[in-house]
């Protein structure tokens, strides 16, 4: 592909798209700006106009991944005319769908977020991911649909269940259970566990 075919920032988008494909195929070790330039048919210097080095590329991939994931989760959480428990389930499905389709990217996202020199942008985006769920749980608590407790801690429990299922699916460890069935059961059990105890016990 000729370098001249990129304009108005399209090269940056193309580099990120190709980088995610390479990440899924070969892992982060297989990524380099030079190889991406070769894959896209541009000069070796062209990617440096958008990313100063390989680390900047990986961080940009993580930022893009969080933006996409958070957007999908936020859309599910804020869906109009849906009961709050239905929205909680849809947020779980949104996370699971992203995690299974973009497993290598998700791993990169959380690795980059927890790096000692992680950028403020990455930290904020990673925090937003949890906050979307925590805010929805707080709304469900006000509606009497979820038990009392710290919404952030309850959100972490919800993440542990959905993320665990995603990792089992990515690792082909669900045996003969279809992912759709495992998803339905996991969300049913999770939501049942979040409901208030009718007896009022903790």
Owner of token pair 């980088």: 19
Percentage above 90 pLDDT, the chain? 77
| Residues present in the chain in total | 202
Q: What does the pLDDT read at residue 86?
A: 97
Identify which has the larger pLDDT, 200 or 178: 178
Q: What does the pLDDT read at residue 106?
A: 95
Instruction: Give pLDDT tens digits for 127-139.
Output: 999 999 999 999 9
Which of the following CATH numbers is that of domain 1-51: 1.10.860, 1.10.760, 3.30.70, 1.10.10?
A: 1.10.10
Please state the pTM of the whole predicted model.
0.88
Percentage above 70 pLDDT, the chain? 93
Averaged pLDDT for residues 2-25: 78
Buried b (16+ CB within 10 A) or exposed e, 87-126: bbbbbbbbbbbbbbebbbbbbbbbebbeeeeeeeebeebb
Residue 140: is its pLDDT beyond 60? yes
Longest dimension (CA), the chain: 69
* Homologous superfamily of domain range 53-194: Tetracycline Repressor, domain 2 (1.10.357.10)
C-alpha separations of 87 from 25, 32, 76 in Å: 33, 40, 6
CA-closest candidate to residue 36, choices 22, 25, 53: 22
Domain regions of the chain by residue span: 1-51, 53-194
The CA distance from 61 to 95, in Å, is 17
Task: Extract the tokens encoding 76.
Answer: 């599910």
Task: Extract the tokens encoding 72.
Answer: 């999908």
Instruction: Give pLDDT tens digits for 44-95.
Output: 889 888 999 999 999 999 999 999 999 999 999 999 989 999 999 999 999 9
- Kindly report the backbone phi and psi dihedral angles of residue 146, in degrees, each rounded to the nearest multiple of 5, phi listed first: -135, 145
Confidence tier at 2 by pLDDT (50, 70, 90): very low
Q: What does the pLDDT read at residue 10?
A: 87
For residues 148 and 137, the answer to whether their CB atoms sit within 8 Å is no
* Range with the poorest average pLDDT among 6-10, 20-24, 72-76, 82-86: 6-10
Number of H helices, E strands in the chain: 8, 0
Please tell me if the domain spanning 1-51 has the same topology as the one spanning 53-194: no
Q: What does the pLDDT read at residue 4?
A: 46
Instruction: Give pLDDT tens digits for 90-111.
Output: 999 999 999 999 999 999 999 9
């Amino acid at each position: 592909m000729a370098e001249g075919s990129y304009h108005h920032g399209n090269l940056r988008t193309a580099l990120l798209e190709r980088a995610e494909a390479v990440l899924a195929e070969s892992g982060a070790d297989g990524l380099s700006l030079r190889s991406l330039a070769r894959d896209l048919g541009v000069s070796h210097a062209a990617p440096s106009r958008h990313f100063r080095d390989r680390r900047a590329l990986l961080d940009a991939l993580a930022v893009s991944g969080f933006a996409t994931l958070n957007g999908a989760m936020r859309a599910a959480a804020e869906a109009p005319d849906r009961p709050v428990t239905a929205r909680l389930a849809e947020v779980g499905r949104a996370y699971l769908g992203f995690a299974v389709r973009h497993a290598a990217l998700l791993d990169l996202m959380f690795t980059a977020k927890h790096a000692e020199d992680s950028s403020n942008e990455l930290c904020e985006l990673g925090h937003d991911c949890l906050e979307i769920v925590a805010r929805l749980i707080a709304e469900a608590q006000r509606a009497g649909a979820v038990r009392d407790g710290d919404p952030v801690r309850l959100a972490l429990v919800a993440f542990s269940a959905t993320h665990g299922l995603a990792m089992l699916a990515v690792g082909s460890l669900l045996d003969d259970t279809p992912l759709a069935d495992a998803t339905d059961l996991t969300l049913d059990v999770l939501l049942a566990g979040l409901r208030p105890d009718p007896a009022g016990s903790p």
